Amino acid sequence: MAGYHQNLDQQQAPAFFARGPSPLARLAFFSALSLALMATDSRLQYLGTVREHLMVVLQPLQLIANAPSMLYDSTNEYFSTHHRLLDENQLLRKQALVQAISLQKMKTLELENTNLRQLLQANQSLEEFSQLGEILHVGRDPFTKKIIVNRGSAHQVVNGAAVVDAKGVIGQVTRTYPASSEVTLITDQSLTIPIQVERNGLRAIAFGHGRDNTLDLPFLPANVDIKPGDKLITSGIDGIYPKGLAVATVTEIQTSQDSPFARIVCAPTGGIENHKQVLLVSISPSESITPPNTAKQPIVNTDANHATLEKSKPSALKELDQHKKITNEAPAVAVDANTQNKPHAQD
């Protein structure tokens, strides 16, 4: 067939059909190049800086592309009625009042907590550093759940920072560019997040489900003490997410005869896909949060500290019922140990 074509070329296809190397040669060359690039990019970390530099080139184009929607937003804002603004103002005032009260409470609690920790000679919990970011756009790759936020390495955003909205954790910064950063959502397949059940302190790791907006709690025994409606919060043992942020609510638990594990489905608490503003939280900006793959060692250490602390705490602090739960905690600790070696976000 190809030969027939070549004959045609010579007969009636004149000079302007001269195409240089044959399509097959081009295919082979460029495919090989693509494959080599893919291998380099996914296995070796050479292309990170190249990507950053190219993103700078892309920035003006991105601005142009965002202009229409931003224009729409700003005109919308401009024409929003006086009445609506007043209403909103009132609502926000109320909210501020309520939050001010809870903030006061929190301050005393924080003080109490530090005192108690000192009494127990435990480590101080880590300081948090946060900044507000705005979602530029949703990730364009249909296979992953990502968002792009308008804060980047120029604003001291670091890889691994937790991303939170008003209701809970929504993800983690996995790639930083100069003026923007890529956030992998907790529902992404590659993201795992250490959690704790609020009700009984049971620790586990939540995995993003990928396709629908849910999280899974795998590797927990069928008789695990988790009920639908249980709230999952960050356990803070990873040194990445601050402790106590809402992550998800358990929606469904299935146990089957043929599996020793329960199938636990959770719905994220944060408005994963409906907010514009997010908070980028990193723990203490001074000791820079290392990206997941290099963060293994410190994580293991803090975890070990925490694990022993967690066990000694109830006797001094908590009531008897916490003791009962220790038996439940055992499998969770085992899971922690297994997953420690896994980076929290695999690129």
- Binding region for other proteins (CB under 8 A): 5, 8, 12-17, 19-20, 23-24, 26-27, 30-31, 33-38, 40-42, 47, 51, 54-55, 58, 61-62, 64-66, 68-69, 136-144, 146, 148, 175, 182, 189, 210-211, 273
DSSP 3-state of 179: coil
Nearer to other proteins, 225 or 273 (CB): 273
For residue 53, the minimal CB distance to other proteins (Å) is: 10
CB-CB contact of 203 with 336 (8 Å): yes
CB-CB contact of 194 with 203 (8 Å): yes
Which letter does DSSP use for residue 261 in this model? B
Nearer to other proteins, 151 or 203 (CB): 151
For residue 125, the minimal CB distance to other proteins (Å) is: 33
Rounded distance between C-alpha atoms, residue 337 and residue 339, angstroms: 6
For residue 9, the minimal CB distance to other proteins (Å) is: 9
The partner residues of 176 in beta bridges, in order of sequence, read 181
**How far is C-alpha 327 from the geometric centre of its chain's CA atoms?**
30
DSSP 3-state of 275: coil
Nearer to other proteins, 53 or 311 (CB): 53
Nearer to other proteins, 65 or 326 (CB): 65
And the tokens for 45? 């970390």
CB atoms within 10 A of CB 9: 13
Nearer to other proteins, 144 or 340 (CB): 144
For residue 257, the minimal CB distance to other proteins (Å) is: 26
And the tokens for 158? 């670091």
For residue 176, the minimal CB distance to other proteins (Å) is: 12
